[in-house]
Amino acid sequence: MSRRVAWLLGLACALPVAAAESSGQVRALEPSGALTVEAPIEEASSSLLPVLGLPSLVPSEESSLAARVRVLERSGVVLRGAAARDAALVTEVEAGLQSLPPAMRRPPGGPLELVLHPEPAPLGLGDGTPSRPDWTEKRARFHLYRYAPSSERRATLRLSRLTEGEEEQLWRRRAVVHAVVQRWDDAHGWSDTPGWRRLSGWQKPFERPLVWKEESRLNFAGAFSRALGQRSASLDLVTFAEELLVPPESLRADALPVDDQVRCQEFSKARALAELVASTGLGALPPRGSCPTFEAWAELESLSHFEVLLVASTGRQPESLFGHLLLRPVWHEGAVPRGPTFERVVQLVALTGMESKGLGYIVKGMTGGYDTVFLTGTMGDLSHEALELEQRSIRRFRLRLTGGEGARMLERVWELERRGYMGYYFFTDNCASALLFLLNGALEGGRQVRAPGALWVLPTATLDTLARVEVVGADGHAGPLLEHVPDTFESTGDRALRSHTAREEALSALAGQVGTAEHAKLQGLHTRLQSPEPDTRRAAYEALPEVVAAALGSARPEARAGVRERLHAYVTHAVRVERAAVDRAEGERLKIEREQLLAVRVPVPGAAAAGVRERQRIFESEDALQRRLSVLDRTTLLQEALAAAPRRPPTPEELRALVKAERTEVAFTRATEVQGALNDGVLAEVDPVAFLGEDRRRKVESETAWARDAQRDSGAGRTVVSLGVDFPDVGGARPVVSVRTAGMAEALGDARLHGFQPSSELRVLDGELSLEPRWGVPRVVSSEMTLVGYRTLLRELPQFRESAWDSMGWGAAARVTSDPERLLPYRASVQAEALMVLDEGARFSHFTAVGVGGLATLHWSGYALAPAAGPRLSVAHRTGLPGSGANAVRVEAAYAPTWRVGDDHVTHEAGASLQVEWWLGRAGPFGVLLTPRAQVHWEASSRSPSTWWDGSSEQRLALGLEMR
């Protein structure tokens, strides 16, 4: 070739490129990183050759494709072999890169090589196995395969309207996004940030007990973009980026209804990914846009605040002791009033369905056999289940969230109701941990609330943890994240207790204001209204109008208005007590019918696993979901199952209970009819609305006063250090240092905002170790541990008592102790007692109770074992002191004569303690409780009463200090 021809050819190659660059039509890579391939270089070059007087060189498809491949290579994406020769693949690689923000299109970490294999694979992607790798060469080479459809439901759920060709295009583009985002995640550790990990509950190895590898708390495949995302937090992020950046609607606008699009389903993950990209300086992801169904459901402009609800213990049912937490969004009243029963509440529950509550039920509840789910129900459903059937009041606590956090909370509720399924473990993964999981995904500024324990997450301890977090609320003021609301949702049982006292007061106030004979009739009627027999109460209600009219007529004219109000109050409170009776009867009836159904042992609708699958299916499509009831009300499901399922006949005892339930309902119906007639008749001048307002005011005022003086914290995780002096029978006085720790320790009469009922006492792993300090290793003086102990002073109301047992409290405990100075130093004991309450004050601020029961003990040493048993008598007393509700004087005493197997004598033991509890207040974040204590223990062995007092005794004075 001559030099002139070579020069012309060089000019022909240079001029078109220069011209194209000056016109802006051809750019390999813009400064921002935007990749464009609209005018390949070869095409532009050949178009200028005739102008230069040279023959036209028509470019082939191969040369055009090669130029596009070279442009991709300059962007850091390298195609080799079959991948470089596949024009369709090159097009989708270009489209995949275009779906990323411009600054993200060049992956970090060097060239990214894409390799295409002829073998087919689902979705055309590797699965990480040696036979079908996705990455090799330390993430330098990403492997693609010939496209084949996948049977994975989650991956294809939103692709039903796409053709197979469109699906292949979609997954080729997603593969590019996957590879590039994976590189960015490797470079910047996006998936390792707390903000990302807590959305799916990712846990690292050994982060929690029994966690051996990285795993997510969410166990539902539908919570991830595809199955690969369940393997690690990194793959969760990368597969989600695929779905978010290359959604089905990017290929076809009508591929999905707007509410089913990922941007309207995964608000939290989309926000977290956008924040990670922006924080790295890589640009901004597209805004979310409108989501009509969510926006109509959330009513963000009317959202007021959130409340945490504690479904408290009844006091007599130990199975309900630990309480249950829920979440309640509260909206401002809008243009259309929403009745209180239609307000929404978020339940965090184990979906157990209709399974029998036997040993298998307990085992599954402790080992993850059920799933925790997030149910959005109504206050009406909750009230019926908790306040009426279970007779459990609900305490309220307000969360001080910012406006942004409130919106995020609603987004999390929306997401988790659809995809939030986690294994339920009674001690660690329960309603309390689920609440923290939901909340931590919504808090801003990197804040996170840690679980109150690793081996035991108590609802009450969780309230303690939330209250210790200091935040700046929407009002701009600093304060605790959790605040008590002194307006409990009162169960019909607790309201009946309050009404029982109020009607007694009304009856007493009528003495002297109505005629003596009329008051005597009221007294007689009052006695009949407290009868356990519903027929007796129904007859009393029949006679009530005549007695009320006579009492009102006997009052002096000037006192008649006050008498009318007291009679109205008496009737209202009597009907409230009757309402509690009919609710208890309904709960008992449902329990009996459930047992009748389960005894047949045939499959019934509502099993736990079937319930989970049904919920997951319902929530797959927003369009289908909005056409049916989305709330699974457990009580309604039970009643539907009972209506159609076979069942065994009732036992004679069950039949008596069912008949009594029917008669109780008849009595309540008659009570309401009589009340209505009286309110329309002789009591018509009393304003019932004013009465209800005044009744609520008094209730709130009483709760406010109690809450003001109560301790905030529950009795979970307590530690008390004591310094004292022992006075043994042998030897002189000796110093003693004691350390007492408790997993849970709440005593009778304790006033705690986050605790159980003051009528109940619960001790779990409550132990004390006493040491004698000296040079070298301290000597162990004694130790004692209450494994579990429970006492209650709450009794049933007279009309609910079916036996003498219902008029008494009760208690039981299991303990182990050691004392090196005893002949058999180790002891394990189990005790139970009935408690007769001699005196009590409001909320048991003061009480005196006598206990009668039994004690079984096992004494042992390294060479001997001696069982023993005998009766046990006890006295418990508490007197409240001025100031804080924590201030009190406690006296405990017990006596137990026991006979040991192999002995020919009785061993007598007695002990007593006097303790003062005085709240010193808070010092910074800590509260300080001072507990001076005096105690004595006496033990003697004797064959006759004359030698009972020959024994040994030991006294101790100690000053304890507890800081929380």
Phi, psi of 477 (to 5 degrees): -105, 145
Residues 809-823 have pLDDT tens digits of 999 999 999 999 888
Question: How many Cα atoms occupy the beta-carbon half-sphere of 604 within 13 Å?
Answer: 25
Q: Which amino acid is at 775?
A: W
Q: Is the pLDDT of residue 300 over 80?
A: yes
Geometric angle at alpha carbon 273, from 268 and 276, rounded to 5°: 125
Tokens linked to 850: 């006598």
Measured distance CA(942)–CA(946) in Å, rounded? 8
Residues 6+ apart with CB under 8 A from 673: none
Measured distance CA(741)–CA(722) in Å, rounded? 11
Q: Is the pLDDT of residue 184 over 70?
A: yes
- pLDDT band at residue 61 under the 50/70/90 scheme: low
Return the percentage of the chain with pLDDT > 90, whole number.
67
Tell me what pLDDT residue 888 has: 96
- Sheet bearing 324-331, strands edge to edge: 422-424, 370-378, 344-350, 324-331, 303-311, 394-399, 482-489
Distances from the Cα of 588 to the Cαs of 318, 655, 658, 664, 665, in angstroms? 17, 11, 8, 12, 13
- pLDDT band at residue 900 under the 50/70/90 scheme: confident
Residues 758-802 have pLDDT tens digits of 999 999 999 999 999 988 899 999 999 999 999 999 999 988 988
Tokens linked to 117: 């294999």
Residues 85-98 have pLDDT tens digits of 999 999 999 999 99
Tokens linked to 746: 């709440």
- Contact status, residue 454 vs residue 203, Cβ threshold 8 Å: no
Tell me what pLDDT residue 43 has: 36
Residues 476-527 have pLDDT tens digits of 778 899 999 999 999 999 999 999 999 999 999 999 899 999 999 999 999 9
Q: Is the pLDDT of residue 31 over 90?
A: no
What is this structure's pTM? 0.87
Tell me what pLDDT residue 147 has: 95
Residues 6+ apart with CB under 8 A from 50: 56
Residues 866-898 have pLDDT tens digits of 999 999 999 999 999 999 999 999 999 999 999
Q: Is the pLDDT of residue 541 over 90?
A: yes
Tokens linked to 331: 């909206």
Tell me what pLDDT residue 446 has: 81
Geometric angle at alpha carbon 205, from 200 and 209, rounded to 5°: 90
Q: Where are the beta strands (DSSP E) in 104-163?
A: 112-122, 135-136, 141-148
Tell me what pLDDT residue 620 has: 75
Residues 345-366 have pLDDT tens digits of 999 988 877 666 667 777 788 8
DSSP 846: S
- pLDDT band at residue 631 under the 50/70/90 scheme: very low
Helices 403-419 & 431-440, crossing angle to 10 degrees?
Answer: 130
| Averaged pLDDT, 849-872 | 94
Q: What is the mean pLDDT of the chain?
A: 86
| Averaged pLDDT, 921-943 | 87
